[in-house]
A and B are shown apart, each in its own frame.
Chain A
Amino acid sequence: MHLPKPWRLLFALPLIFLAIFYFYPLLSILGVSLAPEGRLDLSGVQALWTRPYLAQVLWFTLWQAAASTALTLLLGLPAAYIYARYDFPAKTLLRGLTTIPFVLPTVVVGVAFVTLFGPRGVLNDWLMAALGLASPPIKLLNTVWIILLAHAFYNAAVVVRIVGGMWANLDPRLGEAAAVLGASRWRRTWEVTLPLLAPSIAAASLLIFLFCFTSFGVVLILGGARFATLEVEIYRQTVNYFNLPLGAVLALVQLAITFVVMVVYTRMQARSSLPLNLRPQSMTVRRPATRREWLVVAGVNTLLMLVLLTPLLALAVRSLTLGADAPTLRHYLALGQNPTQSVFFAPPVEAIRNSLLFSLAAVALSLALGLLAAYLLAGNSAHNRPSRLARWLDPVFLLPLGTSAVTLGLGYIIALDEPPLNLRTSLALIPLAYTLIAMPFVVRSLLPALRGLNPRLREGAAVLGASPGQVLREIDLPIIGRALAAAAIFAFTISLGEFGATLLLYQPRYPTMSVVIYRALGQPGVSNYGQALAMSTLLMLVCLVGLLLIERLRVGDAGEF
Chain B
Amino acid sequence: MKRTTRRLTLLPLLLLLLAACTAPPAPAAPTADAGPQRLVLMSHDSFAISQEVIAQFEASHNAVVEFLKAGDAGEALNKACLSKANPLADVFFGVDNTFLSRAIDCDIFEPYESPLLAAVPDDLHLDPQSRLLPMDFGYVNLNYDRAWFEQQGLATPQTLAELTQPAYRGLLVVPNPATSSPGLAFLLATVAVFGETGDYTYLDFWRDLRANDLLVTDGWSEAYFSHFTVGSAGQGDRPLVVSYSTSPAADVFYSEGAKTQPDSGNISPPGETFRQIEFAGVLRGAKQPTLARQFIDFMLELPFQEDIPLQMFVYPANSAAAVPELFSQFAPTPSEPAALDPAAIEANRERWIEAWTEAVLR
Measured CB to CB, the residues of A under 8 A from B are: 10, 13, 32, 53, 107, 110-111, 114-115, 118-121, 142, 220-221, 224-226, 235-236, 238-243, 322-323, 330, 334, 339-345, 361, 364-365, 367-369, 371, 410, 413-414, 417-420, 422-426, 428, 431-432, 469, 472-473, 477-478, 502-503, 505-509, 518-519, 521-529, 532, 555-557
Q: Is the CB of B231 within 8 A of A557?
A: no
Q: Is the CB of A524 within 8 A of B46?
A: no
A113 to chain B, nearest CB (A): 9
Q: Is the CB of A417 within 8 A of B78?
A: no
Whole-angstrom CA separation of A529 from B227 in the bound complex: 13
Q: Does B12 contact A (CB under 8 A)?
A: yes
In the complex, the number of residue pairs spanning A and B with C-beta atoms less than 8 Å apart equals 231
Whole-angstrom CA separation of A424 from B87 in the bound complex: 11
Whole-angstrom CA separation of A340 from B22 in the bound complex: 36
Q: Does B150 contact A (CB under 8 A)?
A: no
Q: In the complex, what residues of A have CB within 8 A of residue B5's CB? A: 473, 477-478, 555-557
Restricting to B68-102, which residues have a CB under 8 Å from any CB of A? 68-72, 74-75, 78-79, 81-83, 85-86, 88, 102
Q: Beyond the given A226-B216, A425-B25, A522-B45, please list 14 additional residue pairs across the A-B interface where CB-CB is below 8 A.
A: A107-B221, A107-B222, A225-B360, A226-B362, A240-B178, A241-B353, A242-B102, A322-B233, A344-B67, A414-B82, A507-B68, A518-B45, A525-B250, A525-B251
Q: In the complex, what residues of A have CB within 8 A of residue B18's CB? A: 364
Whole-angstrom CA separation of A506 from B221 in the bound complex: 21
Q: In the complex, what residues of B have CB within 8 A of residue A224's CB? A: 215-218
Q: In the complex, what residues of B have CB within 8 A of residue A418's CB? A: 86
Q: Is the CB of B79 within 8 A of A505?
A: yes
Q: In the complex, what residues of B have CB within 8 A of residue A557's CB? A: 1, 5
B81 — nearest CB in chain A belongs to which residue?
A242
Q: Is the CB of A525 within 8 A of B253?
A: yes
Q: Does B298 contact A (CB under 8 A)?
A: no
Whole-angstrom CA separation of A505 from B78 in the bound complex: 12
Q: Is the CB of B251 within 8 A of A524?
A: yes
A33 — nearest CB in chain B belongs to which residue?
B82
Whole-angstrom CA separation of A556 from B1 in the bound complex: 6
Q: Is the CB of A556 within 8 A of B67?
A: no
Q: Does B266 contact A (CB under 8 A)?
A: no
B350 — nearest CB in chain A belongs to which residue?
A241
Whole-angstrom CA separation of A239 from B24 in the bound complex: 29
Whole-angstrom CA separation of A366 from B20 in the bound complex: 12
Q: Is the CB of B311 within 8 A of A240?
A: no
Q: Does B254 contact A (CB under 8 A)?
A: yes
Known: A334-B256, A477-B5. A115 touches B86 (CB 8 A): no
Known: A239-B78, A240-B74. A417 touches B251 (CB 8 A): no
A423 — nearest CB in chain B belongs to which residue?
B25
B241 — nearest CB in chain A belongs to which residue?
A524
Q: Is the CB of B19 within 8 A of A364?
A: yes
In the assembled complex, 7 residue pairs joining A and B whose CB atoms fall closer than 8 Å, in A order, are: A119-B237, A225-B357, A343-B67, A345-B51, A473-B5, A521-B225, A529-B232
Whole-angstrom CA separation of A118 from B225 in the bound complex: 12
A387 to chain B, nearest CB (A): 23
B257 to chain A, nearest CB (A): 10
Known: A417-B83, A519-B45. A342 touches B311 (CB 8 A): yes
